[in-house]
Amino acid sequence: MSWHPQYRSSKFRHVYGKAAGKEKCYDCVPITLNVHDNHFCAVNPNFIAVVTECAGGGAFLVIPIKQTGKLDPHYPKVCGHKGNVLDIKWNPFNDFVIASCSEDSTVKIWDIPNELLKRNITSPKKELLGHARRVGLIEWHPTAHNILFSSGYDYKIMIWNLDVKEAVIKDPVKILDAHTDVVLSMSFNTDGSLLATACRDRKIRVIDPRAGTVLQEANYRSHRVNKVLFLGNMEKLFSTGTSRWNNRQIALWDQNDLSVPLLEEDLDGSSGLLFPIYDSDTHMLYVVGKGDGNIRYYEISPEKPYLNYLMEYRSLLPQKGIGMMPKRGLDVSACEIFRFYKLIPTKSLIEPISMIVPRRSESYQEDIYPLTAAAQPALTAQQWLSGVNKGPLLVSLRPGSGAVSSQPQFLEPESLMETTDVSQQPVWGGRMPLEDKQKPREIEDDRKQLKVQEKLPETEQMCLSNSFDIFECPPPKTENELLQMFYRQQEEIRRLRELVNQRDVQIKQLELELRNRCTDTGSY
């Protein structure tokens, strides 16, 4: 069992799950009865797509995200497959394009109109023909535009380039045939340069998808893996599966050494599959049980004990599948850090579940919403196929903000000094406390001091406000160095704000004591 400390400092220690009310659920949805181990649901800020039952082939529903309540039984479907639909995924860079795969051994790309559907969609935008048997998994590349991976029961993973004019594509750009059995799970690292797979032969593999070579392979027999997941840039893998005694089990692995897991823990004796879902922004890991109503969530740390248990959301209604809203679709005013869409086939219901950080303030909370992946691709398909790697473009979730490039901009010392100026830090913008609003004179004094500092010689300006010198710490040359500097500045500003608030409290206490003494002396 993993070690759970009694007290641990964390912003997400008190995160709780909140189910939506009946009026915000999707009712009378004919959810599929297929027993395939997939999510069966895909969500973006505009639509929710759900695999459904359909006579004479496979189909799925595409419902506008705001169209809650009871669904019309004659609501149009997307029904172009000849077999059951096994997986659906929205394009991460286009909210109106969705991919689906089916038992008919095809993958289809669909254009969804920006309006309410009035009739069935039967003609796909593109059709991918290459697999000899049914296709069970599809995944979009996280940073490259129009690159799609598909995995079939022919034990092959195919890489497709959709940046072509042909409506029917028969030749994938690459075929990965490193597996000896059915691939159960696929996961990319942050920049999409590595692919982790879980196979029915109980092995975890880390593959270079462009070269087609297996970089690491796990032969650990006491953990029968079902799902595997890259944990962002932490160079770790997380897997769910079963132990030798058929207990549901989770395991944590070093990406560069898959011989023995770093951590292994039995959860319970249930038979349902465990879906792992990782939020790289908050470093929170969610483990969703298929066939039960529980969602366990943990916080990942780079040092031991690695996996810190937070809490568990419990419900009496079992879930068959789950959908996840991208971060750009969350309600930041309610401090919502994640949102699930739970498929409940026993009630034909889709129930949104919001994971919320309890905060009293209604303003934007910068500390729980770091820069997140934007809806723009960082690379073209041809750039990625030629060997270029690039992290996702980043965007702030603050209302009204724009996209931020993940590529570091090499700043001159003077411009670096300007970006680290306290008056221009994004942490201050939009989050001015009530005490600051009530003290305009003090704000004006601070601005005067800043103007005086701007008039200082250049040699004195080189000393930065966040405790490091530009000569001792040169400008960042990599994305990680830039992010580290950014987080260091945020932490320093947070500490300074706490000091200022403590000083304000002390001043008020002294003023109150002085007033009490004056009243005491006046009474005599």
Which structure tokens are listed for 335? 């401090």
Cα–Cα distance measured from residue 273 to residue 36, given in angstroms and rounded to the nearest whole number: 11
- For 499-521, what is each residue's pLDDT tens digit? 888 888 889 888 888 888 887 77
CB atoms within 10 A of CB 357: 19
So what's the pLDDT on residue 471? 36
What number of CA atoms fall less than 13 Å from residue 118's CA on the CB side?
3
Which CATH number characterizes residue 109's domain? Answer: 2.130.10.10
* Secondary structure (H, E, C), 171-184: CCCEEECCCCCCEE
Whose tokens are 């009204």? That residue is 400
- For 8-24, what is each residue's pLDDT tens digit? 678 898 999 999 999 99
Is the pTM higher than 0.85? The answer reads no
Q: Are 159 and 176 in contact (CB under 8 A)?
A: yes
How many domains, in total, are found in the chain? 1
Position 145 in a domain: yes
Backbone angles phi, psi at 409, to 5 degrees: -100, 125
Position 126 in a domain: yes
Which structure tokens are listed for 178? 């490193």
pLDDT at 300 over 90: yes
First to last CA, the chain: 68
422 confidence band (pLDDT: 50, 70, 90): very low
Position 312 in a domain: no
The domain of 111 spans 19-177
Q: Are 74 and 61 in contact (CB under 8 A)?
A: no
Position 278 in a domain: no
Which structure tokens are listed for 22? 């009946």
Position 504 in a domain: no
Q: Are 183 and 199 in contact (CB under 8 A)?
A: yes
Position 54 in a domain: yes
Backbone angles phi, psi at 438, to 5 degrees: -90, 0
So what's the pLDDT on residue 304? 87
Whose tokens are 């000083």? That residue is 503
SS3 content of the chain, % helix, strand, coil (to 5): 20, 35, 50
Position 377 in a domain: no
Residue range 346-364: average pLDDT? 92
CB neighbour list of residue 209: distance below 8 Å, 6 or more residues apart:
149, 157, 159, 174, 176, 193, 194, 195
Position 233 in a domain: no
What is the maximum span of the chain, computed from C-alpha positions, in angstroms? 99
Q: Are 407 and 389 in contact (CB under 8 A)?
A: no
